[in-house]
Amino acid sequence: MARKPFFGGNWKCNGTQESVDKLVKILNDAKDVDGSKIDVVVAPTLIHLAKVHESLRKDFHVSAQNFVAESGAYTGEVSVSMLKDIGLHYAIVGHSERRSLYHETDEVAAHKVKVAVDAGLTAIACIGETLQEREENKTNEVTTRQLQAYANVIKDWDKVVIAYEPVWAIGTGKVATPQQAQQVHADLREWLRKNVSEEVADKVRILYGGSVKGDNAEVLIKEKDIDGFLVGGASLTADFIKILKSGL
C-alpha cells in the first residue's frame, strides 16, 4: 500500500516574530513543493501558533507541540479545544523532550493521544530509545512498550502518525543509519501487524526523527518503511525545503 509521505517540522522552543515570518515566507515561496503530494506540518511555539496558522499557505498545516485535555485552572497551559478553536488539525504527543524534561510517562502520552484523536486532531505520536537502552539491546522492548501504550487507547488509526525518534539522534548530529532506522520501522510495523491489524500495519505512517538534514533525507526515505520525517533543527532553515523535496 502506498503511504503518503509526511514531513513534520518541530520548531521546539525557537523563534522570534521576525524569524517566524521569514520561515513562513520560505515555506510559502517553495512553489515546487506540492502539499497535495506530501503532508507538510509545522509545529511552532504556542505564542506563534495562530500567526503561523493564518499566514502559512493552505496546502501546508500547523501542529501544536503540546496541550492539556481541558480548559480551566491549568496555569500556563493550552487546551485541546483551544487548538480546535483556531482551526488546527495536528498535535505532537509524547516527544522525548516532554518525557525527559516534564516527566511525561507512557500513560500520560497515551492519554494525550486519546484526547487529541477524540477531539478530531491527528496525533504525531513519538517513541524512541535512549543511547543506554540501545546499547543494552533494549530498542525493540522500549519502542514496542511505548507503542503498546498508544495502541491501548487508539481507536481511529487514521488519526495517528508514529514518529520514531531515537533519543541519541535528536539534536546530536548523530543520525541513525538508513539500516538502523529501517530495522526499527520494520519491527514496529511487524508489531502493529501482530497486535493491531494487517490494515493498520500497512497504512500507518512511521516517521523517522533525529538529525535529519537535506543531505541525509534522500537516502533515509528510500527505505521501505520510512514514510517521512519529524525534523527539529533543520526545520528552522531553508534546508527543510530540501528535506521536503526528498518526498516528491
Ligand X SMILES: O=C(CO)COP(=O)(O)O
**Binding region for ligand X (CB under 6 A):** 10, 95, 165, 170-171, 209-212, 230-234
Q: CA angle 52-56-58, nearest 5°?
A: 130
User: Residue 1 has what DSSP assignment?
Assistant: -
- Compute the half-sphere exposure of residue 29: CA atoms within 13 Å on the CB side of its CA: 8
Shortest distance, CB of residue 9 to ligand X, whole angstroms?
Answer: 8
Question: How far is residue 215's CA from residue 240's CA, in Å, rounded to a whole number?
Answer: 10
Q: Examine the residue annotation and report whether 111 is marked as an active-site residue of this protein.
A: no
Closest-CA residue to 53 (of 78, 15, 75, 84): 84
User: Residue 165 has what DSSP assignment?
Assistant: -
| Cell 515566507 sits on residue | 25
Closer residue to ligand X, CB minimum distance, 201 or 226: 226
Q: Examine the residue annotation and report whether 97 is marked as an active-site residue of this protein.
A: no
Shortest distance, CB of residue 193 to ligand X, whole angstroms?
Answer: 26
In the structure grid, which three cell numbers stand for residue 142, read together?
A: 522500549
In the structure grid, which three cell numbers stand for residue 21, read together?
A: 515570518
The active-site residue, picked from 48, 95, 104, 185, is 95
Alpha helix positions (H), 102-238: 106-118, 131-135, 139-153, 178-195, 198-203, 214-221
Residue 11 neighbours by CB under 8 Å, 6+ apart: 23, 42, 43, 44, 45, 48, 65, 235, 236
- End-to-end distance of the chain based on CA atoms, in angstroms? 17
Closer residue to ligand X, CB minimum distance, 201 or 243: 243
Query: Active-site positions?
Result: 95, 165
